[in-house]
Structure formats: structure tokens, C-alpha cells
Amino acid sequence: MPLTKTTWLLRAGAPVAVLALALTACEPFGEKGDTSENARHTSRSDVTDGHQGGAQKVGMRSDGERPLQPGQAGTRAFKEDTGVEPTYRIAVRKVDIGTAAEAKALAPDPADAEGMVPAVAYVKYTHLRGATVKEFPRVGDYAEVYADGRRGAKVTGTAGRPKGCADPDEIKNWRNGQSYLLCNTFLIPARARSVKVMWTEIGGKPFVWTF
């Protein structure tokens, strides 16, 4: 789907002081040496490819088939920080692309956003089975936006959460059958030709959606 710019987030006077730009981005997926909190998690999936080890190539599903389309879902057991390991259905609904002016407003230093635009991934998570997640679900932290095969720079904070997206820190007692829309914002090159959303964990196999 060609990239189109839409106004999705900012209004005049948005509180940019409450967010931070993770400038450890723009690294190809699969590079070694990641020491982020993601490394603490393990996962199980009902989609397997029969291969062991090695980095998963961006743009391929974990079963080696074509990437998922918007709205299609993958199912994954995910171990939350609290120790429970429910099974979630994960589906990326859409990606909204913003403007260069919005990107500069999101960055602590506008120079960091030169040539960039914001891309927001809207991901629906459904608790299918397993223990209730009593608080602070982290499953939504693992959806990332890639542009032309490279990870964008993640924006964090309340200004990086569009209207209609849930705050994971406010979710309590997430039970079977309940769904939440969780959103992540990344800055990507304005001239990117392709956008993908990847949900994965360190050591896990990715789900990839193409846009």
C-alpha cells in the first residue's frame, strides 16, 4: 500500500516535554548485542517454520509464508513481567503516517527528526486463554515499525499515544475474551517506499504485516 500522509496525532501546544525519542533505532532486524528488556521474555507460537536458530528475515512470516495482511492475526503465548503466560491473538489493524512537522514536534530536538515522519501502528490484542493479567501488560511493547527493512525510532510518552489507544499501565485484570487496542509510534524516513509492522521477542519468531 503506498504511503499517504494523514493528520493523526498532534494539535497546537501538544505536551512534547513528556516524551523521549529512542535513537537506538534504524538498525536492521536480527543484529546481535541487544541488551534491552525484551531479552527477558520468551514465547511460544502456533506458527512454526521447522528451522532452528538464525535471524528471521524482515518481511517473512515465521512459517516462511507470505507476510500477514492488515487485520489478519497471529496467535502467541507471551510471558508477562508478572510471570503469567496467557495466549494472545495479535492483529495489526492499520498504520497511520504523519507529516514532517509532526515528527519535529515529537522529537526532543527537532534536528533529530530531520527527514522523518511519524508512523503509528494500531494493534489489537485479544486475551484468548490462560491466567488473568492483573496489571501492567507488556505484550504491546513488542510491535515495531520498519521502513524499507530498517526499524524506526520509537517515540514514548503520552504524546506518542493517539486518541482511542489504551494505556497499558492503566489496564487491570485482563481476562479471557477481552481486547485492547495498543499503539506504538515510530519515526521513519519520509521517503520510505515500504512499511511493515513486526511483532516479535528476542529469541522468538516474528509476525510481520505489510502495508
pLDDT tens-digit readout, 123-139: 999 999 999 999 999 99
Q: How confident is the model at residue 5 (pLDDT cuts 50, 70, 90)?
A: very low
pLDDT of residue 160: 62
Residue-wise burial string across 130-145, b where 16 or more C-beta atoms lie within 10 A, e elsewhere: beebeeebbbbbbbbb
In a domain, 5, yes or no: no
Q: How confident is the model at residue 45 (pLDDT cuts 50, 70, 90)?
A: very low
Q: Which residue has the cell 511519524?
A: 118
CA distance 112 to 162: 21
pLDDT of residue 159: 65
Q: Is the pLDDT of residue 176 over 80?
A: yes
Q: Which residue has the cell 486463554?
A: 129
Could you give the percent of the chain with pLDDT greater than 90? 58
Number of domains, the chain: 1
**Helices in 7-108 by DSSP H: which ranges?**
100-106
Tell me the pLDDT of the chain averaged across its residues.
Answer: 75
**Domain region containing 170:** 18-49+58-210
In a domain, 112, yes or no: yes
In a domain, 206, yes or no: yes
In a domain, 3, yes or no: no
Q: Which tens digit of pLDDT belongs to each residue from 13-36?
A: 333 323 334 433 333 322 333 333
| CA distances in angstroms from 79 to 130, 139, 145, listed in the order given | 11, 8, 22
CA distance 86 to 77: 6
More confident residue, 143 or 66: 143
Is 130:77 a contact under the CB 8 Å cutoff? yes
Q: How confident is the model at residue 191 (pLDDT cuts 50, 70, 90)?
A: very high
CATH number where 98 lies: 2.60.40.1240
Q: What is the mean pLDDT of residues 75-92?
A: 95
For residue 27, count CB atoms less than 10 angstroms from its CB and return exposed for 0-12, middle for 13-18, buried for 19 or more: exposed
- Whose CA is closest to 74, among 89, 92, 62? 89
pLDDT of residue 88: 97
In a domain, 13, yes or no: no
